[in-house]
Amino acid sequence: MEPSSSFGKFFYFSYFAVGSYLAKSLLDQVGSLPLHLLYSTVEVQSHDDAYNYLLFWLTKQRFNESKNRLIASTSLSSGLDYFSEDSDDGEFDDMLDAEASDAEWKASLSNTRQLLWSPSEGIHYFRYGGRCLALTREIEERGAMLYTRTDKLRISCLGWDASILKQLLLEARVEYSQKEKGKTVIYRGAKRSYDNDFYWARSTARPARPLSTVILDHEEKTAFIQDVQQYLHPSTMRWYSDRGIPYRRGYLFYGPPGTGKSSLAFAAAGFLGLNVYILDLNATQLTEDALAQLFQELPRRCLVLLEDIDTNEVTSRRSDESKKKRKGNNKISLSALLNTIDGVAAQEGRVLVMTTNHQENLDPALIRPGRVDYQIEFKLANRNLMMQMFQNLFRDVLPSIDSHLEDNETDTLLLTSTAEKVPLLPAADHALIRPESPEVDMEQLAATFAEKIPELTFSPAEIQGYLLCHKSSPLDAIAHVESWGEKTLEEKKKKDTERESKEEDKNSMKDKAKKDKKGKKGKKGKKGKKGKKGKKGKKGKKGKKEKESKD
């Protein structure tokens, strides 16, 4: 029977404490008696995601409010992230409502985070499901640094039946998953400071990006999503297994920077409910063993993202002079990388996405069929893409231009792309109307905008950056886009010239160093020959003298 009064609760917990003491006394007297005959225990390590589930659940329980031994923190995450003061995972942040007042918004600029209360180190008793449970929290120091601590949570109950403990952890997992519903969790390959091992560290949980926000050819985007969906279907795994085909799928996104390669990967992961695992192949301390271990620890359903693989010298195209086993700064060879991706012991069930700015620089062995099954080219913005971006950004915001412009001015604005001047509206006069308003044809505005920019010149990221500067006024965006384009092109040419100049200087310095090295070698060779010749001459003279003395 569950005690209702304070005295009843005190009596109940006293009974549990006395029982624990008697059990310990019995154990001291009968040293051979195993402890598991008295208690059922579940232990959770801080490097496991289950730690997140349990600690999050504990912070939300009412019994935690009455505890007098607590730990205050602003971030609760597994592993080393738990002790990070500037963790940017945003897991437990209070989110401001869209209708928040200016005062709330200004207060949020201070970046203060909600205080979270969790049980401190030691033993804590609480009730769950009509049973009295004990929570033991242990914090172990592995070195002098704060970030080398590890945390253990242990839940125990009297008796042999651990079903109540499993039920608690299952409830904690469900609550945690509900909190992350609609979010994409991102993990990054990181190195632990206390044992130098690599592991998947939770980085952040961001709202899933809608596929509609990725500006790409509709047919190409649909074909890619359908291909991944078909691959992840349970029947596909059986189909692969029945035919003895490794259950893996690889994708290559290639094209200029800022064209949406990583954006499509994140949007696809959010749409399909996959977590994203990002690995930097240029990490200086990443070894072949660590790479293999990281891939072995991947869950079956996930998206692995290798960004900018062309920047790693291991993956670059081999020349005739470098057919040998190559290694980058991080001690990873090409053969080790290929075996990790699709070797005999390679993990199955994951989706591998590689991105590159220069497909032509990649080693053919890396992107051959079987390792890369599907390739998508991302191009600079064409007219159709620019129109899509314009309509997507301004779909909910339009200025009412009829009240400010004469009919002939409106016609000039909408129909003439070469107009020298476009009437601008004061910011205070901008009014919000629905996109379907007959006052403005959004498609016509988008076409006017796209006609003012040369095709295949700017990346979608550059155009989006410009549009965001005029997010409340499509007319201003149209009016200033030509001058922005000219200025941006001038800056690009200037940067290209500077880069070419630096490359020329670098190459000339290399050539000079080679000549100097060659010159030193030549001098050394001449000196050596001269020395040998001198020695030979001396030896000859000495021999002649000896011969004469004998005679």
Tens-digit pLDDT profile for residues 322-359: 444 455 455 788 999 999 998 877 888 999 999 999 99
In a shared domain, residues 269 and 216: yes
Residue 523 lies in a domain: no
- Range name among 17-31, 265-279, 334-348 with the lowest pLDDT average: 17-31
d(CA 57, CA 174): 10
pLDDT recorded at residue 5: 56
Backbone φ and ψ for 244, nearest 5 degrees, come out as 70, 25
In a shared domain, residues 322 and 461: no
Among 359, 377, 395, residue at a domain's last position: 377
d(CA 18, CA 38): 14
CB 59 within 8 A of CB 153: no
Residues 6+ apart with CB under 8 A from 154: 41, 42, 43, 44, 135, 136, 137, 138
d(CA 157, CA 135): 9
> Which of 132, 191, 169, 162 shows the shortest CA–CA distance to 52?
169
pLDDT recorded at residue 105: 55
In a shared domain, residues 338 and 210: yes
Largest CA distance in the chain: 130
Residue 362 lies in a domain: yes
> Which of 243, 303, 295 shows the shortest CA–CA distance to 272?
303
Residue 545 lies in a domain: no
pLDDT recorded at residue 189: 93
* pLDDT tops 50 at residue 492: yes
**Beta strands 351-356 and 249-254: pairing type?**
parallel
Among 328, 356, 377, residue at a domain's last position: 377
What is the pLDDT confidence band of residue 153, given thresholds at 50, 70 and 90?
Answer: very high
The CATH number assigned to the domain holding 274 equals: 3.40.50.300
Residue pointed to by tokens 């390792």: 371
Residue pointed to by tokens 């990002």: 278
Question: Over the chain, what is the mean pLDDT?
Answer: 78
Residue 51 lies in a domain: yes
Tell me what the mean pLDDT of segment 408-435 comes to: 40
Tell me what the mean pLDDT of segment 221-238 comes to: 95
User: CA 412, 413, 418, 423 torsion: positive or negative?
Assistant: positive
pLDDT recorded at residue 65: 67
Count of beta carbons in the 10 Å neighbourhood of residue 542: 10
Q: Which long-range contacts (CB under 8 A, 24 or more apart) does 329-334 make?
A: 329/282, 329/284, 330/281, 330/282, 330/283, 330/284, 330/285, 330/286, 330/287, 331/286, 331/287, 331/288, 332/281, 332/286, 332/287, 332/288, 332/291, 333/288, 334/363, 334/365, 334/366
Q: Tokens representing 115?
A: 């205080």
> Which of 295, 329, 294 shows the shortest CA–CA distance to 315?
329
CB 109 within 8 A of CB 142: no
Element holding 71 (H helix, E strand): strand 70-73
- Range name among 165-169, 178-182, 243-247 with the lowest pLDDT average: 178-182
Tens-digit pLDDT profile for residues 434-455: 444 445 688 999 999 999 999 9
Q: How far is CA 197 from the centre of its chain?
A: 19
Count of beta carbons in the 10 Å neighbourhood of residue 85: 9
In a shared domain, residues 232 and 323: yes
Tens-digit pLDDT profile for residues 273-303: 999 999 999 888 899 999 999 999 999 899 9
In a shared domain, residues 170 and 207: no
DSSP lists the bridge partners of residue 118 as 71
In a shared domain, residues 428 and 370: no
Q: Tokens representing 269?
A: 């992961």
* Rg (the chain; Cα; Å): 34
CB 450 within 8 A of CB 442: no
In a shared domain, residues 210 and 299: yes
Among 352, 377, 402, residue at a domain's last position: 377
- Range name among 76-85, 262-271, 316-325 with the lowest pLDDT average: 76-85
Residue 400 lies in a domain: yes
Residue 367 lies in a domain: yes
pLDDT recorded at residue 505: 82
**What's the domain range around 17?**
1-33
Tell me what the mean pLDDT of segment 239-253 comes to: 94
Residue 503 lies in a domain: no
In a shared domain, residues 220 and 345: yes
